[in-house]
């Protein structure tokens, strides 16, 4: 089904800005027992709302299918880099919102509970909400009580009934997954205590567009918030954006802090400045997206020529990092098992499975030991330095290849 209205302001003035072709769900990896089953494939197209500046995927997909299967494989604690980020996040946010020692922290999209666990170590009560029964079980093993289901009015009522109002609600890399962000934000407001804070973090659309990074677009990411559209959706729930800062995660993420309007003093000057910057840099004009698509299509053509030359010379190519962004990259570039020998990953939840649609086997980094000279394509580019250091311990003859997109 096609979305006809903006998810933030209900405007029907939507303009297509990006078309990456047809893609499967990016974060659902395929076990060997299901290799012969077809993937669910949908057009991956983004529209820009000309009224509020919100960016959203055009085609609706089933959220239960996206997250509730056991093969949803992303975990918050999947790397040293991620663990360090969430440990720092808990400290920074606790300081910024002045969280009480006995506060109730609700994490929406709690995943394996690693972030919630950081708050429990400081004495707070952490409760999670996650649609994946598998991830909820992992979180419970960390001591984070978890309600299984998609967050909304229903789960908000369960939280209020069982735990009372929350002093802090966090929703990192999940608010952008919501099919109805207005309903989502209203449900957050329902459980937020007087003086409480709502914090969410996600890849910053401005940085992604200007750096030419298309691979953080996938079906699980329904919305791509700018500071302008974040302020708009918060306002619809009677909330005010009090802080908007860029943090060094996923290549540059936007961390938003909001409060109910009766607890705040209006949209912060910091946030207003970022909105003016987004407008000045053309983020709400169609031309920047025409350039974005032209450059990525040209780069794809050039890179595929290089890949075919490498393979025709009898060499092997191994991709590194079985991340959701990597699956968008592989599918957009049409790189399957005939061109990529393996994808490596350190996560035990991914090894032994296959990438969706492209059907490339996922193995550990030790596969590099079997090769002399070998080519490597890093899909998890946000942690490329750490990955290169790790891979050098297995093989000193790796030649790294990557498409480079000039900044807009």
Every domain of the chain and the residues it spans? 80-286
pLDDT of residue 104: 97
Backbone angles phi, psi at 76, to 5 degrees: -65, -25
pLDDT of residue 44: 98
Mean pLDDT of successive 10-residue stretches along the chain, which has 408 residues: 95 98 93 92 97 96 69 66 88 93 95 93 94 89 92 95 97 90 96 96 94 94 95 95 89 92 86 96 98 96 96 97 96 98 92 96 97 96 91 95 71
- Report the CATH architecture of 80-286: 3-Layer(aba) Sandwich (3.40)
pLDDT of residue 71: 54
Sheet holding 374-378, edge to edge: 362-363, 342-344, 317-320, 374-378, 398-401
Separation in Å, CA 181 to CA 187, 219, 254, 311: 10, 15, 17, 45
pLDDT of residue 72: 55
pLDDT of residue 80: 78
Backbone angles phi, psi at 311, to 5 degrees: -70, -40
pLDDT of residue 393: 94
How long, in residues, is the chain?
A: 408
Separation in Å, CA 215 to CA 161, 201, 324, 329: 40, 18, 8, 5
The sign of the CA dihedral 258, 262, 264, 267 is positive
Tokens for 126, please give them: 């952490």
pLDDT of residue 133: 87
pLDDT of residue 70: 43
pLDDT of residue 407: 52
């Amino acid at each position: 089904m096609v979305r006809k209205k903006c998810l933030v302001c209900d405007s029907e003035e939507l303009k297509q800005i990006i078309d990456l072709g047809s893609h499967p769900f990016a974060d659902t990896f395929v076990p060997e027992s299901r290799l012969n089953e077809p993937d669910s494939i949908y057009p991956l197209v983004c529209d820009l709302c000309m009224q509020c500046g919100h960016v959203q995927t055009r085609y609706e997909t089933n959220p239960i299918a996206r997250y509730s299967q056991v093969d949803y494989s992303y975990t918050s604690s999947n790397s040293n880099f991620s663990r360090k980020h969430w440990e720092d996040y808990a400290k920074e946010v606790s300081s910024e919102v002045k969280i009480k020692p006995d506060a109730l922290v609700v994490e929406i999209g709690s995943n394996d509970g690693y972030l919630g666990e950081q708050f429990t170590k400081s004495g707070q009560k952490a409760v999670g909400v996650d649609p994946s029964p598998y991830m909820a079980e992992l979180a419970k093993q960390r001591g984070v009580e978890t309600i299984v289901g998609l967050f909304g009015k229903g789960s908000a009522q369960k939280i209020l009934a069982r735990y009372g109002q929350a002093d802090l609600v966090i929703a990192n890399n999940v608010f952008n997954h919501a099919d109805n962000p207005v309903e989502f934000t209203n449900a957050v407001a329902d459980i937020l205590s007087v003086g409480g804070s709502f914090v969410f973090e996600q890849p910053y659309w401005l940085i992604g567009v200007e750096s030419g990074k298309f691979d953080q677009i996938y079906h699980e990411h329904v919305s791509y918030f700018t500071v302008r559209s974040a302020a708009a959706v918060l306002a619809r729930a009677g909330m005010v954006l009090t802080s908007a800062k860029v943090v060094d995660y996923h290549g540059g993420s936007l961390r938003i802090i909001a409060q109910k309007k009766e607890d705040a003093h209006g949209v912060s000057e910091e946030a207003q400045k970022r909105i003016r910057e987004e407008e000045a840099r053309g983020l709400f004009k169609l031309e920047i997206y025409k350039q974005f698509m032209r450059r990525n299509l040209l780069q794809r053509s050039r890179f595929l020529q290089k890949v075919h030359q490498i393979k025709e010379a009898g060499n092997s190519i191994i991709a590194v990092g079985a991340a959701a962004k990597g699956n968008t990259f592989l599918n957009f570039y049409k790189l399957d098992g005939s061109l990529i020998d393996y994808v490596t990953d350190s996560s035990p939840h991914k090894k032994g499975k296959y990438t969706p649609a492209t059907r490339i086997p996922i193995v550990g980094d030790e596969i590099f030991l079997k090769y002399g000279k070998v080519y490597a394509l890093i899909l998890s580019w946000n942690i490329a330095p750490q990955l290169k250091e790790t891979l050098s311990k297995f093989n000193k003859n790796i030649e790294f290849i990557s498409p480079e997109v000039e900044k807009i």
